Amino acid sequence: MSDTECDTTTQPVTEQAVAETVDPAVPADAAVITGADAEAIAAAPATPDPGDTRTPDAADGPGGVTRLSLVPNGAAPTAAIPALDAAAVLATTDTAFALTDHRGHIGWVNPAMSALLGLTAEQSVGRALTALLAGAPDGPRGTDVVVSIPLPDGGGHRWLEIRCTQAKHGQLLYRVADVSRWRARELDAAGLAGHQDELLRMVDEDPLTGLPNRRALTRELERQLALGARGAFLLLDLDHFKDINDLHGHPTGDRVMCTLASLLRDRLGGVQGQVLGRLSGDEFAAVLADTDEREAVAVADRLRNAIAAIPMSGVAGASRITISVGIATFDTGVGWQEVLANADMALYASKAAGRNRVTVYEQGHYKDTALRVTVIERVRAALKHGGFVLNAMPMVKLGSGRVIGHELLLRLEDGREPRLGPGEFLLAAERSDLVFEIDRWVADKAIETLVAHPYPGLRFNVNVSGRTLEDEDFGGFVLDRLTAAGVAPGRLGFEITETAAVTNLDAARSLAQQLRASGCRITLDDFGSGFGSFVHLKQLPITGLKIDGEFIHGIDYGSRDTVLVQGIVDIARGLGLSVVAEWVERATQVEALSRLGVRVAQGFHLGEPEPLDALLARPHGAWMRRPTLMTDATVAAQARERP
């Protein structure tokens, strides 16, 4: 027997009969009961539980009438009951029924379901049943599901038994029965009656902060939408919260999270129509009913400023905590998924714009997100099916004009429009875990090429993403490949940007030590972009510096760049590091750099990047010959043509 059958005397009705009382020809948003299938219900079996000798209790249903129970379609009838009007049965039973489309959007509910949801039948239509009844199955299952929901008036909880079965035309039939009394007896028998309130609270409450959890918050949002409320949804994400957990441990992170939750609760708690919750590890959200865009922005800014003002005592290295906020206003006609997605896109825009700011969703964010998703799909396809190629840019010894190596640059050549430059697809990849695969692919291709062309003069430098510094296995992957391939490690170098290294100093130091100890070259790229990080040079086991191109741009104009570059060269020489200058586009820059003691440089004046395959197709050793220097006019013309 089911839990419901233990609690009631039953009059079984087939699920098919209930489903067919809703005319499938009527659109889902205007479904009505036809009552045309009374004969089907009359033919349904009546199989009371022979072991149930209880006297019907008025609490079981109006006038002691028992709840309607469903039996599997096709069950053999054992007796017939008088012909009934199906619509009347569904209208008077205290068992709740709903018919939805395959996505769980309600097309029809009976009065019992309407009362359970705290919505009228009209308000229920089009809403997501699985959001309003959090925990309800999203499709048919072999067993019933028991969930807990709060009463619409806030006066406690109910335990519900939910069954989902397949109906005609791809629809789903949900049957919901109140099993609170049975659940109470079960908990009492197990000695857990005193813990029922705690168990119920855990269903909808975040255990760390005590705030409503994701299911409670999305239920409230969908309920507000069903009621026709207008308002705003705020999505708040802590900036760089992962750094606190990584550097200080999760207990410290939990303490910070509780502090923030308390502050947010103080600012929003108790205000009518405002519900605050915690969606995930470092994400909070708030439903603000009857709030327009201007008011929502004002609320978000107050929260953002209040959090930034919290003193972070006991969190070394973190002067303050900041949040980024995405706002999506809502009105009738939308669902909770759409509102949450819009807020997420606005939040992403806040993060991309530099964090610690508030952004309101607008249509352009959807286009940006659609483009980003498309880019990620193209990157994933290029990794799996081909589409990435490597270009080689020569690094030239200024004294002799000889090529001493090449920097490998990744390009996406998948034949699709629009063409994407590295700044577009690499930025998208760095915001996903695909960047780990990309860096391994580049390193692997570089090693494969060095194996196929075992000439000592052929040497490559490859770039390492700041995200890859988080990959503790990357160094081992590279060294295993070099050892298996029999390639001298000195033929392969790695470039790490100064910003990435300083941001994640411990990880950069660990990778550099591992690779340099095996003989690989390690270059700190874009050096000088931070310029306050000279102190970190003694902590990083690097072999060379690449001067940021911004310092090279005006080096031949007698600007302050000359003094700065001279300082970098002197420091590098004192530390025994090699120096490479980038962005060399004029002959006069070569002359100025030579006077300052820079021995190696790269740039379009010294040699453009070319496909690696084209470089290797030349006769043995040709890649080491002096490149054809381009005139300043040619460099300028090609720069104008580059995207």
Averaged pLDDT for residues 602-607: 92
Look up residue 72 and give its two tokens: 């599997």
Give the pLDDT confidence score for residue 600 in this predicted structure: 96
Measure the CA–CA gap between 319 and 632, rounded to whole angstroms: 48
pLDDT band at 311 (very low <50, low <70, confident <90, very high): confident
Quick check: helix, strand or coil at residue 263? Answer: helix
Would you say 423 and 414 are in contact if contact means Cβ atoms under 8 Å apart? no
Which residue from 149, 153, 181 is spatially nearest to 162, judged by alpha carbons?
Answer: 149
Burial of 191: CB neighbours in 10 Å, binned 0-12, 13-18, 19+: exposed
The yes-or-no verdict on residue 408 having pLDDT over 80 is yes
The DSSP line for 346-357 is: HHHHHHHTTSS-
From the CB of residue 401, how many other CB atoms can be counted at a distance below 10 Å?
13
pLDDT in tens, 325-337: 999 998 876 788 8
Which residue from 522, 523, 585, 579 is spatially nearest to 550, judged by alpha carbons?
Answer: 585
Averaged pLDDT for residues 121-138: 90
CA distances from 28 to 108, 509, 558 (A): 7, 61, 75
Backbone angles phi, psi at 410, to 5 degrees: -85, 135
Would you say 43 and 93 are in contact if contact means Cβ atoms under 8 Å apart? no
pLDDT in tens, 410-423: 999 998 888 888 88
Q: In what helix (H) or strand (E) does residue 590 lie, and over which residues does it extend?
A: helix 587-595
Percent of the chain clearing pLDDT 90 (strictly above): 36
Look up residue 504 and give its two tokens: 């994640």
The mean pLDDT of the chain is 79
Which residue from 494, 395, 405, 394 is spatially nearest to 442, judged by alpha carbons?
Answer: 494
Largest CA-CA distance found in the chain, in angstroms, rounded: 107
Would you say 221 and 287 are in contact if contact means Cβ atoms under 8 Å apart? yes
β-strand 600-601 against 578-581: which pairing, if any? parallel
The yes-or-no verdict on residue 42 having pLDDT over 80 is no
Give the pLDDT confidence score for residue 159 in this predicted structure: 85
Give the pLDDT confidence score for residue 14 in this predicted structure: 54
Q: Report which of residues 541 and 320 the model is more confident about.
A: 541
pLDDT in tens, 256-278: 888 888 999 888 865 677 889 99
pLDDT in tens, 206-258: 888 889 888 889 888 988 889 888 899 999 998 877 767 666 777 788 888 88
pLDDT band at 515 (very low <50, low <70, confident <90, very high): very high
6-10, 36-40, 494-498, 560-564: least confidently modelled range: 36-40
Which residue from 257, 349, 254 is spatially nearest to 307, judged by alpha carbons?
Answer: 257
Query: What does pTM read for this prediction?
Result: 0.51
Q: Supply the DSSP symbol for 194.
A: G
β-strand 460-464 against 68-71: which pairing, if any? unpaired
From the CB of residue 496, how many other CB atoms can be counted at a distance below 10 Å?
26
Would you say 113 and 124 are in contact if contact means Cβ atoms under 8 Å apart? yes
Long-range contact set of residues 470-477: C-beta below 8 Å, sequence gap at least 24: 470/504, 470/507, 471/436, 471/439, 472/510, 474/436, 474/439, 474/440, 474/511, 475/510, 475/511, 475/514, 475/515, 476/514, 477/440, 477/443
The yes-or-no verdict on residue 7 having pLDDT over 80 is no
Would you say 640 and 409 are in contact if contact means Cβ atoms under 8 Å apart? no
pLDDT in tens, 297-310: 999 999 998 888 88
Give the pLDDT confidence score for residue 18 in this predicted structure: 59
Instruction: Enumerate the β-bridge partners of residue 212.
Output: 205
Long-range contact set of residues 293-299: C-beta below 8 Å, sequence gap at least 24: 293/232, 293/327, 293/329, 293/360, 295/232, 296/231, 296/232, 296/234, 296/327, 296/329, 296/360, 297/327, 297/358, 297/360, 299/234, 299/268
Percent of the chain clearing pLDDT 70 (strictly above): 74
Measure the CA–CA gap between 79 and 97, rounded to whole angstroms: 24
Measure the CA–CA gap between 325 and 323, rounded to whole angstroms: 6
Would you say 87 and 35 are in contact if contact means Cβ atoms under 8 Å apart? yes
pLDDT band at 578 (very low <50, low <70, confident <90, very high): very high
Give the pLDDT confidence score for residue 75 in this predicted structure: 43
Give CA torsion, residues 363, 365, 368, 374, to 10 deg.
-90
Would you say 545 and 521 are in contact if contact means Cβ atoms under 8 Å apart? no
Q: In what helix (H) or strand (E) does residue 326 lie, and over which residues does it extend?
A: strand 323-330
Give the pLDDT confidence score for residue 111 in this predicted structure: 93
The yes-or-no verdict on residue 17 having pLDDT over 70 is no
Give CA angle at 611 (608, 612), nearest 5°.
Answer: 110
Look up residue 480 and give its two tokens: 């295993």
Which residue from 642, 638, 630, 618 is spatially nearest to 392, judged by alpha carbons?
Answer: 618
pLDDT band at 30 (very low <50, low <70, confident <90, very high): very low
- What residues contact residue 617 under an 8 Å CB cut-off, 6+ apart? none
The DSSP line for 408-423 is: EEEEE--S-SS---HH
Q: Report which of residues 533 and 124 the model is more confident about.
A: 124
134-143, 427-436, 510-519: least confidently modelled range: 427-436
Look up residue 80 and give its two tokens: 């017939």
Look up residue 300 and give its two tokens: 């978000």
Averaged pLDDT for residues 24-32: 40
Q: Supply the DSSP symbol for 94.
A: S
Measure the CA–CA gap between 236 and 347, rounded to whole angstroms: 8
Measure the CA–CA gap between 127 and 617, rounded to whole angstroms: 63
